[in-house]
Amino acid sequence: MKTENAIELVDVTKKFDEATAVSRFSVEIKKGEFFSLLGPSGCGKTTTLRMIAGLEIPTEGQILLEDNDVSSTPAYRRSVNTVFQDYALFPHMTVQKNIYFPLKMKKIPLSEARPRIERVLRLVNMEGFGKRLPQQLSGGQRQRIALARSLVNEPAALLLDEPLGALDFKLRVAMQKVLKDIQRNVGITFIYVTHDQTEAMTMSDRIAVMKDGLAHQIATPDEIYNDPATAFVASFIGDMNFIHGTVRENDGKACVLNVNGDTLTARREVNLEKDAEALVCIRTERVQVNPQRSVENKVSVKLTRIVYRGTDYEATCLIGGSELRAVVQAVAWDSSLRVGDTVEVAWSAEDMIVFPREEEKDVIKYSVEAV
């Protein structure tokens, strides 16, 4: 049976002496997919990428490339290529020689290789740069040459290790579009490592969110945003509120909780028993202030802070000691509201996500102590 998978990882584990960098990571990456590994530094995403590239050998588990077990095949014999974070263009070779290098290793003569080199230069919009040296190029140009060099061999998959990390913001956004276009045009599988969630969310078909060597969730951006599997994923992506509550009832389809005296309902599957301590999460943009239409979950609170952010307003209040923030579009904001006013904050039952309280320690916090 011809496989759909470009790359498959089966229970891949990597240990360095006593420390575990990657723990039992399994995934099937389809051909032509733009797949991202997302997580904070030290989560194991780069190590995973290097294992796919062949620069590290897994301690346990297997790596399959188009259904062939390549777990112990060295990097120079795998048909995957990597774009490194610092591009690693050979400084003593011209752009053309750099791009020719992988073909040269395959003993393809320069005459045959030239059209391929030209084609790939056209692809990244760098025609005519063949005779330049890497240090004569800007950061963005080097990045594109590194991309070209890795693509010229038409690998089964392209691995990218935070390739846009060194670029400034506007350039990064532009390059994101370029990368996505190239990936779609060429149809190559991309495996993309980043710590920037916006990047991952905008470019990927699927994302693996990792922490401390474990994959918390492997899903599409939509699922990751609206149905996070763990509190960590919920906190890492987007802007999430976290407040404490206790489970009152749970019939499998909906869960009723007691939050600071108020009764709130979450209409989704929740894996908690009655009386269990829970972590309640709502996206800040899903919290409405003084809604006109009737909404299922409502709490009466006093505003403690109002921040004008240009496109929207961020209003903060306290529920049982935890901060709750509501982000309201500027056009919808009632400008008569002041700090100290009592308002109703509300959200629908579908927008409320519930996790076990123990997961709170995994949540990424933004506070002075956390720094």
Question: How far apart are alpha carbons 34 and 219 in whole angstroms?
Answer: 12
- The residue from 11, 16, 138, 305 that contacts another protein (CB under 8 A) is 16
Query: Site for another protein (CB under 8 A): how many residues?
Result: 30
Options 62-70, 84-92, 187-195, 281-289: segment touching another protein (CB under 8 A): 84-92
The strand pair at 262-266 and 206-211 is best described as unpaired
Handedness of CA 196, 197, 203, 206 (dihedral sign): positive
- The residue from 4, 67, 90, 329 that contacts another protein (CB under 8 A) is 90
- The residue from 141, 153, 230, 284 that contacts another protein (CB under 8 A) is 153
Options 87-95, 188-196, 201-209, 284-292: segment touching another protein (CB under 8 A): 87-95
* Longest CA–CA separation in the chain, Å: 78
Is 100 in a helix, a strand, or coil? Answer: helix
Taking the least distance from each CB to another protein, the nearer of 104 and 177 is: 104
Annotate 159-226 with DSSP letters as a single string: EEESTTTTS-HHHHHHHHHHHHHHHHHH--EEEEEES-HHHHHHH-SEEEEEETTEEEEEE-HHHHHH
Is 111 in a helix, a strand, or coil? Answer: helix
Q: How far is the CB of 24 from another protein (least distance, A)?
A: 22
Q: How far is the CB of 101 from another protein (least distance, A)?
A: 6
Site pattern 25..64 for another protein (x: CB under 8 A)? ----------------------------xxx---------
Interior CA angle at 67 toward 61 and 70, to 5°? 50
Q: Answer yes or no whether residue 135 interacts with another protein by CB under 8 A.
A: yes
Question: How far apart are alpha carbons 204 and 361 in whole angstroms?
Answer: 28
Q: How far is the CB of 82 from another protein (least distance, A)?
A: 5
CA distances from 306 to 285, 289, 330, 347 (A): 15, 12, 12, 19
Options 1-9, 68-76, 289-297, 313-321: segment touching another protein (CB under 8 A): 68-76
Q: Give backbone dihedrals phi and psi of 370, rounded to 5 degrees, phi first.
A: -70, -20
Taking the least distance from each CB to another protein, the nearer of 53 and 315 is: 53
Site residues for another protein per CB under 8 A: 16-17, 53-55, 74-77, 80-82, 84, 86, 88, 90-92, 101-102, 104-106, 133-136, 149-150, 153
